[in-house]
Amino acid sequence: MLISLLTTLALAAPTTAAPTAPAGLREVILFSACKRAGYVVYADKTGATRLLERVRMVPDNTSRLTQRYDARGRLTTVQASASGFAGLRYDLTVQFDSRGRVVSERGYRAKGEQANIRTLMVDPRAVRAGRCP
């Protein structure tokens, strides 16, 4: 009886798969403080950062940040979203040109929300060096 109960509980337990790297990229090994802060960095075969992700989940609040880079290491796209107990605060996608200027911005901001995408962005070099905001 006890064994069948334990088996049932084990089968019902949620499983979390390890994140898989996007095609052609490898996950960069980060300092444990950055991993605990929710950061994941992916690099191409030359070692250039191509993707930075951060997910933070605390009771009643979730934030997600994704920064994409081209092969030369220039920022191309930033996606940021956050929600709280009152619902979605913002969900933004911003595209940049090769000089770092905003080309387009689309998405949603809740009334009164003034999220500036530049203040949400993170320097991938700092994250790779272990300095995680």
pLDDT single digits (tens) 90-111: 999 999 999 999 999 999 999 9
This prediction has a pTM of 0.80
Distance of alpha carbon 95 from alpha carbon 13, whole angstroms: 40
Q: Profile the chain (133 residues) by mean pLDDT over runs of 10 residues.
A: 45 47 89 94 95 93 96 95 93 95 95 88 95 87
Nearest residue to 45 via CA among 22, 65, 76, 66 = 22
* Residue 65 CB partners (closer than 8 Å, separation 6+): 52, 53, 54, 55, 78, 79, 80, 120, 121, 122
